[in-house]
Amino acid sequence: MTSKTKGQGAKERTAVPAKHVRRELLPDQSAALLQELHLLTRTGDLNADAHRKLKQINHLAGMLGPDLDAMFERVAEPKLLDAGAGNAYLGFVLYELHFAPRKRGEVLSVEVRPDLVARAKERAQRLHYDRMRFLDKPLAELTADVQADFVVALHACDTATDDAIAHGIHTQAPVIAVVPCCQAEVARLLQGGSAVHRSLGPLWRHPIQRREFGAHLTNVIRGLVLESHGYQVTVTELTGWEHSLKNELILARKVQKRNGLAIQQLGALLGDLPPLDMKLLRDVPAPV
């Protein structure tokens, strides 16, 4: 078998015919919405790529469910910010599952590509999802008046995840959940840099290991920044690796003003590394 046919085989195996699609859906999820989003084909099948996307979104929706329920208990008109929303699939799914049945709250999708925003807006109109709003602008340009009770970023590219975290921290969002995407910034900053402890240098000597280590370090720093600002952080796997390689869910809940231990840990970690002029560290300095 050539690698091409192997690859095609793998793809075929993950497509789901219409008659079996129901078992891929969450209990209150409609096939009609997924058809409107073009995640299902006209004949109701789920092709391999859409299947992977749906798995990611549904796993995330499931894992965020308890925090979303808690938000609705706490807040009369809660606002969820979907950062780097792309086609806003996640926002549509969360709206159908949580916002539509309760008839309250709002989903705000922020996406830098105007074409995607225009299409998502049209879909929301067709669906009468009138408490979905859309902004086409870079996340870094969000102003403090864009307050959210829940910030979520699914695979927002590179430092866009950091912009979502920074906005959430600055506006004191009670919950921030990110599943980071590809990350290049820290690997780039590590290149050629020498560690304070020379024994650490080999961790990022080879490009492929630098990329992996850079991605890991980025997420460790993200967690510590969130903890420093008083968030309790859990880090878990989103879904099986066969559905996505970008698979780490960082879920942060605001529980206190600041966390001195995390501030110290972050400082000590950064002190052992080459100077890392990371955007997140510039945008969100340690709290005093």
Ligand X SMILES: C[S@@+](CC[C@H](N)C(=O)[O-])C[C@H]1O[C@@H](n2cnc3c(N)ncnc32)[C@H](O)[C@@H]1O
Using CB under 6 A, which residues numbered 73 to 132 contact ligand X?
84-86, 89-90, 110-113, 116
Sheet holding 106-110, edge to edge: 132-135, 106-110, 79-83, 150-154, 175-179, 248-254, 231-237
Q: Which stretch binds ligand X (CB under 6 A): 17-25, 36-44, 70-78, 151-159?
A: 151-159
State which residue, 21 or 117, has the beta carbon closest to ligand X. Answer: 117
User: Distance between CA atoms of 179 and 175, rounded to whole angstroms?
Assistant: 14
Q: Residue 240 interacts with ligand X (CB under 6 A)?
A: no
User: Distance between CA atoms of 282 and 75, rounded to whole angstroms?
Assistant: 32
Q: Residue 150 interacts with ligand X (CB under 6 A)?
A: no
CB of 91 to ligand X, least distance (A): 9
CB of 83 to ligand X, least distance (A): 7
User: Distance between CA atoms of 163 and 84, rounded to whole angstroms?
Assistant: 10
CB of 48 to ligand X, least distance (A): 16
**Helix residue spans in the chain (DSSP H):** 3-14, 18-21, 31-36, 48-74, 89-94, 100-102, 114-127, 160-170, 185-190, 207-228, 260-271, 279-283
> Which of 93, 132, 156, 284 is the binder for ligand X (CB under 6 A)?
156
> Which of 163, 186, 189, 263 is the binder for ligand X (CB under 6 A)?
163
- Specify whether the CB–CB gap between 180 and 161 falls below 8 A: yes
- HSE-up of residue 21 (Cα within 13 Å, Cβ side): 22
Q: Which residue is nearest to ligand X (CB)?
A: 86
- Binding residues for ligand X, rule CB under 6 A, total 19
Q: Residue 154 interacts with ligand X (CB under 6 A)?
A: yes
Residues that bind ligand X (CB under 6 A): 84-86, 89-90, 110-113, 116, 138-139, 154-157, 160, 163, 181
